[in-house]
Amino acid sequence: MTKNNSFTLMDLGLSKRGPVQMFDISSLDEDGNIIPFSDQLAIVTHYAHLYDQSYCDSYRTKAEKFINLWVNKFCEEDNSQELNESNPLQTYLFKDIYSVPFPAPKNPKFTFIDLFAGIGGFRLAMQAQGGECVFSSEWNNFSQKTYLANFGDMPFGDITKESIKRLIPTGFDILCAGFPCQPFSIAGVSKKKSLGRETGFKDKTQGTLFFDVADIISRFRPKAFFLENVKNLVSHDKGNTFKVIKETLDELDYNIHYQVIDGKAYVPQHRERILIIGFDNRVFHKKENFNFPETTDDQSPKLKDILQDKAEDKYTLSDKLWNYLKNYAITQKAKGNGFGYGMADLNGITRTLSARYYKDGSEILIPQSNGRNPRKLTPRECARLMGYPDEYIIDKVSDVQAYRQFGNSVVVPLITAVAKNIVSTLFKSNK
């Protein structure tokens, strides 16, 4: 290799132009549909991490085809020869996808798949328990970039496609899914109603995605699953939405455990989410004896503990924005509404971080001394507020996208605590 000897998979996945737009390397799936380049990259990166395991079988043929296509297209010399059978990854393409902050455990204890993966909160939690991810899926290309930078895997795109579902390896132990919550959230429901749109399962674009999760559970029958959603899922449509979810999971013959837990016991943020755990009755016969971790209010960490020593001036609110927020709060109070900015208590916890935080930061403002206007949290502080370690790479996307990603994320320490109990139950019950 000469001209392209520094060309890597990371270069493809982390280009500012995005993985889909970068190159036109057409390839068709079994149904004659074009496989997007991002999904080609997903196939190859999953193959790269699993090539010596049986879980790789669903990726192998396509991956080796794509590797040869890419090498032939971008290298000056003829690389049409077959990949080295003893070590098919001896190529410069793979040189940096193993040098990531959060690689899979060297001696994994179990396997899992990561659906609606976001930026990898579930993956961090499961890997901390000794789990190896054998399939990941996330449709948002900005989240894909962050995920790839931290784990070395490009998540697959649209999990509703049959061609993607067929790539899921068989025999994995746990299914994880933070399936889209907008159709069930209080804010999402209010917004959709104001636009005259349906919510919940009647929302044709997002509300039915739970059934894709159920379909995958039905096909692959993992020993357990771990689902996360907003608190309002329980009460949506007078409880009918959650009733349908429970009935669906019951029909799949899984024993269900669920609980609404506030993340404030793990991070300095009020963030209530429902966690739904299921164990295969055909394996555990309803005798798994699973319990959620116990939490108390006095566990809550303080906001000041996650703040950076110094934040750049760009995060301080302008006079114009600060005056607007103050006037808006006065107007809303006069109308009897509780809407307005939230000045955070540095010795307490914050409101719930939302995906709209990038707009003005109004729900969580940090007071500053010397008469300065308050400021927004920095992206790194948002990462800490969700429990991500400082080694987690967040700068492969803009601040706007980073704010959105953390506003949509799970609370990693909470998910980790529940994952620990799931895995412990899994092994204890299998003895």
* Enzyme catalytic residues: 181
Q: How far is CA 6 from CA 2, 9, 151, in A?
A: 9, 10, 20
